[in-house]
Amino acid sequence: MNRIYFDNAATTSLDAAVLDSMMPYFTTHFGNPSSIYSYGRESRLAIENARKTVAKLLNAHPAEIFFTSGGTESSNTAITAAVRDLGCKHIITSAIEHHATLHTVEHLRHANEAALSYVKLLPDGHIDLEDLERLLAESKEKSLVTLMHANNEIGNILDIHAVGNTCKKFSAIFHSDTVQTVGHFPFDLRNTPVHFITGAGHKFHGPKGVGMLYVNENVKIKPFVHGGSQERNMRAGTENLYGIVGFAKALELATANYETESAYIKDLKLYMIEQLQKNIQQVAFNGDVLGNSLYTVLNVSFPKTEKSEMILFNLDINNICASGGSACTSGADTGSHVIRAVNNDPNQVAVRFSFSKYNTKAEIDTVVGKLKELI
């Protein structure tokens, strides 16, 4: 039986065209971008062309784009800089952020560098925007608001403009973890009230180990990683040359094919919802599944039985890849902090299925058939 991969929110396969774009930089164009001879200049040119491509696709200025090792480093950099360089002494976040955000803000609170508040959630898992406004209004210190654009486990999409405009009203800094939406969603950063956003190549058929941080041109921060003068003195360490080239190519392809691919993937998600409802009693969905939700992610709750408690293990035995929440914690048996926050029902077992352009309805039929057996 072929493997069925339904965990694309964790990582995606590398697009063949992206690999082709990277290959010369593994082999012939291998020069260190900081070197002044021709090999180095070729590499430097490739990085700067990638930066221009990414900036153009996000409608940002090339000077606002910094390449990093991924979403975790980008979020750590932005959050820490907001506290240490921009004077934010109060952080407002939510209980359902990715651990790259949650562990960073908790670290800053434990180090007594900033106070920490959690905004309330609505029953469908969306952020309570009225509560956010209240927290900002009551804050006596300058605030950092860090809220993800789309939740990696339940798919809920934040109204990034509404949050940005609220932050503006209270002169707060706004960082949004956009790792699930860069490459899956059109951005117009010139007209989006946000100070920092993040991206990771492996979420949209690019390579792992490369990401980006957008820093609005009106914001001046200090380096998070110290050393050489790479990334205009903002991020030390020899650049991941082939990764950066691959990141830009993957974003280019994702943007060019957004209309057709997003419609195709959304159709898969709706089809799976329909098939699960038809075939499995008491199935439920977490988050605003048919509302303001990311088309790639479907979080499903199954009734807890002796069989369903082992559901991920049994799916794996049957060559089906899915996750019980965030892939970053799938090895630990602590369950998902997101599901605990939005649906703390001990009689249900949650599984996240996430789709890509390479999945099919036939795969969904196979998976639903197998789930029916397992539950």
Active-site residue, selected from the candidate residues 88, 167, 321, 328? 328
Q: What is the mean pLDDT of the chain?
A: 95
Q: What is the pLDDT of residues 24-75, one digit of tens each?
A: 999 999 999 999 999 999 999 999 999 999 999 999 999 999 999 999 999 9
Residue 332 has what pLDDT?
Answer: 45
The tokens for 196 are 């920092």
pLDDT over 60 at 285, yes or no: yes
pTM: 0.95
Residue 344 has what pLDDT?
Answer: 80
Residue 70 has what pLDDT?
Answer: 98
Residue 109 has what pLDDT?
Answer: 98
* Residue 328 among the catalytic residues: yes
SS3 12: coil
Give the other-Cβ count within 10 Å of 27's Cβ: 9
Mean pLDDT calculated for residue range 152-164 = 98
Mean pLDDT calculated for residue range 185-208 = 98
pLDDT over 70 at 167, yes or no: yes
Residue 1 has what pLDDT?
Answer: 62
Residue 318 has what pLDDT?
Answer: 94
How far apart are the C-alpha atoms of 279 and 231, rounded to whole Å? Answer: 53
How far apart are the C-alpha atoms of 368 and 353, rounded to whole Å? Answer: 11
Q: Which residue type, as a one-letter code, is found at position 19? A: L
How far apart are the C-alpha atoms of 171 and 165, rounded to whole Å? Answer: 10
Q: What is the DSSP string of 30-65?
A: ---TT--SHHHHHHHHHHHHHHHHHHHHHT--GGGE
The domains located in the chain, with CATH, are 4-12+258-374 (3.90.1150.10), 16-256 (3.40.640.10)
pLDDT over 60 at 327, yes or no: no
Strands (E) located in 203-247: 211-215
Do residues 299 and 287 lie in contact, with contact meaning Cβ atoms separated by under 8 Å? yes
